[in-house]
Structures are given as structure tokens and as C-alpha cells.
Structure 1
């Protein structure tokens, strides 16, 4: 048994995410973990992997566990992509010896250099015996299958885009030869070809895995069980079904619960009426009390039909007045170390204009948004702001959030003029109610961080929105809300996305193709490039 949980209970503040539950994941179990944003899916994976302690119960993991979290900030920015991948296997310690010896071989002291050369020779022999070159080739092939050019493997992680780092982390986990996988939104930042490769990999994977994904296509193709974390009941409903069959069964179960509840309510009402009549007679007080208790127990024993789940009320702000051209970028370029990302790019963002940026991962899409937001400076050229320009920036890696601050503090940092009551009201519309406002941003799931980042935009009165993958980590209902907000917003929007639906909602006027910086009027022939980039 790879993962075995007994009596597992999870509470966050006064809220119970999971009542005491038993479950296990064994070889061949391909489980899709589903539930609305904020139900506790990510928290559950953190408990399973030992990142967070449960309120009660135990989780035992046997064999090697591979875990892909939603956030991938922890890796050393100086480490190369290939070394990061190789660290997932036992030969990582040998590679560390090789790197240390390489540095000491440049020491001016001849004795130090000679010893280092001897250690280097020995480490290289151990590396070859451990199948190091074959493993390197395997790692590079896997990364290439996930859409990473081979030259990326020699680059430090700190020079890569968020999408590239995410792909490296996914490739690393798959390369690890783990017995069991836990994958939290593995399709984020993947293009269509990479998603297809991942689906084929997971189909053939012989171990067990637990995957959280809002990609219906992925769940349809790879899972043989579905676990539904019900936020209202704090329970996991476990279905030994593929995803399509699960969806049909959920409808049947909800209808059955509704009918059972109706019958129970009718019986309870009759018992309560009898109890009222008996209570009128002094000699029947005990019998009346028993009648009422039976009615209450009857209702308690039947599950309520699933209530309509709340959806974040996402409305972008009415833009503040501004001049004709809020942002103009002239001849900008950016490089990281020896890696020239792009050069000679010009872009003017007019009042109310709608622009989509396309390009392969690593082409500089996110970097362009960061330059427009003045979060980074171009190496050449300039980014100038026009009269009244007010920017709202949504970062795909949630870089705009202070993870050490609470949800409420993050919102108030952006809009200090808000009273606590006003801020709590805005947070409530984004489904942060009660004690949720006092959670540190660090413990939020990817979907919750997305909602918080969007909430900060609502308070900004921005007249230019720079949106980097705004639909990532959102459940279908929340995604629909943000698409409506994009469509209705009256200010300018510059959008980076792999989501065709987001581009359709934007209805762009222009497209900027990176890294060449070619600009063109939008036409629907570009739509086929969105998911492929």
C-alpha cells in the first residue's frame, strides 16, 4: 500500500475541511481528486506529503513519492534545469561531487587542484557506473516532450520563465521514478502537444497517482477512480469509476439524496405535529419530547442534496480616466545572462485597446508584461506611461501577493483607503468569508491565490490590465466569471494565455508575436496558435 490514511481529519481555524476519513492509494490507482476551489484539495495533498500536519489521524507513505505542488518557487535559481531534474534521482549526490570538484580544479594552489582532479575522476567513474549519461539523455528527452528546447537544460532556473520552470518541475517529478505521484494542476502552462504527451504518459504509468486538475480532457482520459471532496459535508465521496461515468453517477446520487430528504422531511413534520399535540397533555410530555427527538434524528440521518456552490463575483473596476495612449514601449530588449529573450520590440497600448501576446514558452511573454508594469527594466529602449495611466497586473505565479501577509492584509495593502468592513465585503464576494480573511496567503491553494489576486485588481480602478494566465487554477464556474469580466471591462487589456476561451472573451484588436515582436491586426486564424504556444 503506497499511501494509507487512517482517521484523517483536517481543520483550518473553525472550519472542518475533512471529517475523520480512511483512504488508500495503491499501485494501479489512477485517482482524480475533484471539488470546487477552496474545498481543501491542495491542503489534503499537503497533509499527505507531510508539508502540513493533520488535526487528527495518520498518513503512512511507503515507497518513493513524487509530488508536484502548484507553487514552484523553492528551487535554487542558480541551479541549472538539468541539475534540478537529475536531483530527483540518487545520482544527484554524485553530480554535487562533480560540481564541487570542478570549482576546486580552478584553485591556484597546485595541491588543491590535483586533489580536486582526482576527486573529479572518481566522481565521473561513479557517475558512469550509475548510468548517468543515459539518465541525462532520458531527462532531456522527457523535458523536450513537455515542450522545453534542449538549450534550456543548461540554463539557470532563475533565467527561465514561470512556464518553463513549471515544466521542469513536472518533468523532474515524472523523471524521479516514483512509486506514487501526487500532481496538483499538472497541465498549467502546458501547450496542446505537451498535454497530449502527459496524458499518454499517465495512461501507461504503472504506479498509483492522485491528480488535481480542472482539465476535463485529462480526467476523461487517464483516471479510473474519482474522489470528490465535498466542501459542504467535509467528506470524500469515492467513486471507482472513470470520469465520464462519475459525472453521470453524481447526478443519480444527488437525485437520490433529494428524494430521501423529501421523504424524511415529510415524516419529520408528521412526528413534530404529533409531538405538539401530545405536549398539550401534561401526562404525555415525555412522549412528546421523544417524538421531537425522533424527528430531529431522522433529518440528521439524511444528507441534504448538494446546494448550489457559490461562485466568486468577479467584476473588474470601472477604469480611471486616462490619456489616449497610457503605455508606449519603444525598442525594448531583455536578456538574462547570455540568454537574449527578445530585442527591438515596439508596442503602444491605447485607451481601451485589447491586445493578446502569443509565443512559445520562454519567448518573453511574461517578461514583456513585467516590463510594461515597470516591475523590471528593459536592457535597451524605454517604457513610458501616458497621462493618468493606472496599471493592474495579474501575475501567473502570484508574485504580486505577499505570502507572509493575511488575505485581508494583502487587499488592504493595495487599497489602504478601505475600511475593514469594506475590505471584508469585497473578500466575501471572492468567497473569502469568516476566518478565511485571516489566513496567511502562503497556505492558500492556487485557485484561492488566483481569486485573491483578482480581488486586489477590483479595488485598483486600473485603466490598463496586464493579465498573465488569469484562468489558471480556476474551476469551470469561476473561469466563466472571469471570462465575463474580461468581456465587459472598458479599459485596456494586454493578455497572455493558453486559454482559447479567454482570447475569445477578450475579442482582441491586435496580436503581438514574441520573441520577434511582430504586431498584426487580430484575425481568427491566430486562434489556433493560442493552445499550441
Structure 2
């Protein structure tokens, strides 16, 4: 079913904070809208409002036809206890709810309740539209296609991170919604998964709104951009794709600054001229008063009076010119992280090494692997989900017992890490205390100041670390890299849950970082932006050096 979703005068906020207002947007079939903006701008709030999960503070959301099915697929960082893979797929595709509604309507119809026939017809239509009758058969096929080689009756909590990412991708590929609202669908996907997702979006005939931090994914899929500009407190809508938006945004910002500078110069010039004319007029009046009484010539006295009045008239003209001038607001200064990675003293020539290292986990075998990571090498580690990248990192850092072989961490190595699961800040203690535990030499106030620089303000630092969002925990981990010196930096999917400005700041900081870097990422633009000296490709537990 072709569906259109229309927002008119839409406004939303969080508590006393206004997020956006006055949003007018129409999204029709084959429109793929990229929703961008910094963390906290209201992207997820807007998706939930469009989905009908949150009531708008102002304005309306209209779906045409009214029977169209909106699929809102949020980020799910935690897996639900007791939920099987098959149950997860049914829930994410909307089939589970449709099945429950259909069963209820069937029971009411069989009981002969009033109005049950209409309810049954609506429930049946929705059940069929979402693909409920053949979901199990399609699920088996799609799971095999995306490489999810597990029993679908297995619990989600038993899956590895890579398997859970494939399950999430499978749920999207199985969905048959009329409108798709996708919140960070690229998180944790490997390159093959990204390719499948891009092809799915490209072939969509339905309307879609996508929030994503993956710049290359946005560049390949979206045909419009809606920017929630938190700093300028504006909503900007751009036709064209992601790269066109970057260019147009830069031009718009430059023109806005030029327009304000021209306005400010004009105001300054008019004010200076009015002040000068006001001084001349005042001086002329004083001189005229002194000389008029002593001037016998009537015509000279009249000339001096007229001259003073002309100066006063010029002052009024300048003041009116200022009043007529159309005010131009000064562009707000954008938040600029200016991230730094503090460097510890140099370690030895060999930072980390493995000698014939083997790790066995059930049916999976990693190795044997022999390799050395030298001082100041910048190493990109690539490979599919489940290939052994995280195992390689854990073995190099000496955190994983080896079944065979040896691991070695060089003398003087100080490790700084942003891990894929963001485990550094998971406890119940307040964030400020959890952070200070890692840097005991820092007093609480400098810790609070540093966290505030990373967008973690007073209400964040007093909360238990476990209640923070993945993006907030990532920012805390990045702040920790600045607080303590490191010479071996380990980044495992560092762009997950970060907004686009923060990702660019991370890339800029890596350019000047002098130590050793181990970088695991599926962000194609980050791989292109960061200057690496080696690539280690992991495939089926084997490590291959790529030139």
C-alpha cells in the first residue's frame, strides 16, 4: 500500500527543553529522508512522534490512508530476557502484535460479540499485509541469506554481537510496513550487512525516514535531508542527497555569517555617523547661542540657527535609517568539541605480539596467529561480524586466555580503549565517581568540567553510569582518553552511537595522535579519513595482512 505521512507545525520537547517546533514535512512513496542533527536534537523523539508513540506538543501528524501501517524500528541495545530469535523477528516485523490482535478478533467473532465482524476484517487485513502467514518460512530463508546460522528458537541473549546484528538486519528485510522509520539501522553491521541494507532501502517503494551516523550509507540511500540544527535552533530541509546537503549547508552557513557581518558593519557605521552628527549639532547649538546675542547682522544669526537645525535633522535621518534596517540575527556559535587524545611516554619498539596463538570457543577456532604490532603503527582491523576481530584484540591485550601459543604486551604500554559494548561505564555508581575511579589523580570538579566538554552536563554526571545511553557512554569513554595519557589506543566500532560532528572530531584527533592505534570499524568514511599504515583482515579466525 502506498502511504504518505504529513507533519504540520510539529513541535516537541524534553521536559522544559524545546527540541524543535514549526516542522512541516510531507513524506511520500519512494521518499527516503535522512534525519540528521547532534545528539539531543530530538531525532529519536521525532521518529516516535511520527510513529504515534509520542503525542506532539503542537501540530499534527496525518497518515494517508489512515489504515497504513507505520513501522518504527528503534535501536535495541539490550536483548529481552526469554525472547527467542523467532519471537524477536515476529515482534520487530509487527507480526507478533498483528497475530495477537487477530486471535482476539477471531475469538470475539466466534463468540458473536457486537462489532466483531468489522474488528475481525481489520485485524485480518493487517495480519495479511504484514506477511504473518508465511513469516516462519521467510524467516528461515532470510536468516540463511544474511548468515545467521543459528536455531531460530534459540534465545536472543545467547547470540554473539555479530549474530544479534544479523538478526536485526533479518528483521528489517522481513518487514512489510507501509512507512519505515529506522533509528540507527547500521549499528554493528559489517560491510556485507551494510551492502544488503543499502540494497533493501534502494529497492523500497515505501516512504522512509532514517536516522544514521553512517555517512557513506546516507550518501548512498537518502534523497532528502531534514536537519535538526540544535545550535541555530532551526529546522532545515534540503532536497538532494547527503553530500549535496553538506555542500549546501556550508554555503548557507557562510552566507548567514556574511549577511550578519554586513548588517553589523552597517549598524556600526550608522551609529558612529549619528554620534558624530549629534556631537556636531550640540557643538553648533552652543556656538550659536554664544554668538547670536553678539551678532548685529540678522541674516548671519538666521544662517547659524539654520545650520544647527540641519545638523539635528541629519541626526534624525541617521536614527531613522537605523530603525528601518532589517535586523539580522547573529548565527549561534556551534558546539566544538576539539577532542584531544593525551599521549603517554613512548613504549618499546614492539607494542604487542602473538606467537602461534590459538583460541577455541565451541566450534570456532581463532588462529594460529603470529604477528607483531610496532610502536606508532596505525592498524586497521577489518572483517565480517563473527570472523574473530574482537578475539584478536582481546588476545593482543592479554585479556583472553590462549589455548595455545603466547601473547606479549610491550613494556611501558598504557592502553586506552573504547570497546564495542562500552563496558567501561556499566555500574550503578554515579558517572562522576565511575570516571574518577579510572583517573584517581583528578579531583571531582575537573572531572565534571571535562565531562561537560563532551556534552555530559550536571544531570548526566550524577546519574548511575548504567542508565546512560550508548552514545553518552561513548562520550564518557572518549573523555577518559583525554584525561589520562595512553600510547596504545584501541577503538572497537568507535562511531557507533556518536553523532556526525563528534565522529569528525574523533577523526581529527586521530590525525595528531602519536602513539599506536588499533582501529576496528565498518565506517567506510572513517577508514578513508584516518591515515593507517597497515590493514589486518580477519576471516574465519585467520589473520591476513593486506597491502
* Fold-level similarity (TM above 0.5): yes
Name the SS for the 2:264 alignment partner: helix
Most deviating of 203-212 and 426-435: 426-435
In 2, Cα distance between the equivalents of 1:295 and 1:446?
50
- 1:513 matched to 2:543? The reply is no
Q: Is the 8 A contact 1:43 1:445 kept in 2?
A: no
Q: Is the 8 A contact 2:351 2:488 kept in 1?
A: no
In 2, Cα distance between the equivalents of 1:304 and 1:26?
35
The one of 22, 35, 41 aligned to 1:33: 35
Give the drift of 1:7.
4.4
Aligned to 1:318: 344
In 1, Cα distance between the equivalents of 2:465 and 2:54?
15
The one of 64, 73, 76 aligned to 1:68: 73
Aligned to 1:419: 443
The C-alpha deviation readout for 1:359-408, integer Å capped at 9, x for no partner, is 32122322443566677766888867676554333122323233866664
The C-alpha deviation readout for 1:330-366, integer Å capped at 9, x for no partner, is 754343xxx5332454566666374544432122322
Aligned to 1:164: 163
In 1, Cα distance between the equivalents of 2:505 and 2:79?
33
Aligned to 1:122: none
Which TM-score applies when normalising by structure 2? Answer: 0.69
Give the drift of 1:74.
2.8
Name the SS for the 1:139 alignment partner: helix
The C-alpha deviation readout for 1:80-139, integer Å capped at 9, x for no partner, is 43331123346537999xxxxxxxxxxxxxxxxxxxxxxxxxxxxxx99x9767322323
Give the drift of 1:162.
2.5
From the CA coordinates, give the structure whose radius of gyration is larger.
2
Q: Is the 8 A contact 2:358 2:366 kept in 1?
A: yes
The C-alpha deviation readout for 1:268-308, integer Å capped at 9, x for no partner, is 33554577566998xxx9xx999989959957x42445756
Q: Is the 8 A contact 1:183 1:211 kept in 2?
A: yes
Give the drift of 1:316.
4.3
Which TM-score applies when normalising by structure 1? Answer: 0.71
- 1:85 matched to 2:89? The reply is yes
Cα separation, partners in 2 of 1:66 and 1:322, compared to 1, 3 Å:
farther
Give the drift of 1:260.
3.6
Aligned to 2:184: 185
Give the drift of 1:519.
4.2
Aligned to 1:222: 221
Q: Is the 8 A contact 2:8 2:22 kept in 1?
A: no
Give the drift of 1:227.
0.8
Cα separation, partners in 2 of 1:497 and 1:263, compared to 1, 3 Å:
closer
Give the drift of 1:5.
5.9
Q: Is the 8 A contact 1:341 1:363 kept in 2?
A: no
Give the drift of 1:312.
3.6
May I ask how many residue pairs the two structures share in their alignment? 482
Cα separation, partners in 2 of 1:132 and 1:240, compared to 1, 3 Å:
closer
Q: Is the 8 A contact 1:351 1:491 kept in 2?
A: no
Aligned to 1:139: 139
Name the SS for the 2:423 alignment partner: coil
Q: Is the 8 A contact 1:27 1:208 kept in 2?
A: yes
- 1:211 matched to 2:237? The reply is no
Cα separation, partners in 2 of 1:36 and 1:467, compared to 1, 3 Å:
same
Name the SS for the 2:147 alignment partner: coil
In 2, Cα distance between the equivalents of 1:440 and 1:53?
29
Name the SS for the 1:31 alignment partner: strand
The one of 359, 372, 381 aligned to 1:333: 359
- Paired residues for 1:477-496 under 5 Å: 478-486=502-510, 488-496=512-520
Cα separation, partners in 2 of 1:413 and 1:289, compared to 1, 3 Å:
farther
Give the drift of 1:234.
1.6
Aligned to 2:13: 10
- Paired residues for 1:356-505 under 5 Å: 356-370=380-394, 390-402=414-426, 408-432=432-456, 448-474=472-498, 478-486=502-510, 488-499=512-523, 505=530
Give the drift of 1:468.
0.8
The C-alpha deviation readout for 1:166-201, integer Å capped at 9, x for no partner, is 332243244232232222332333344433332332
Q: Is the 8 A contact 1:316 1:458 kept in 2?
A: yes
Aligned residues: CA RMSD: 4.8
Give the drift of 1:469.
1.5
Give the drift of 1:466.
2.8
Aligned to 1:57: 58
In 2, Cα distance between the equivalents of 1:289 and 1:370?
76
Give the drift of 1:232.
1.6
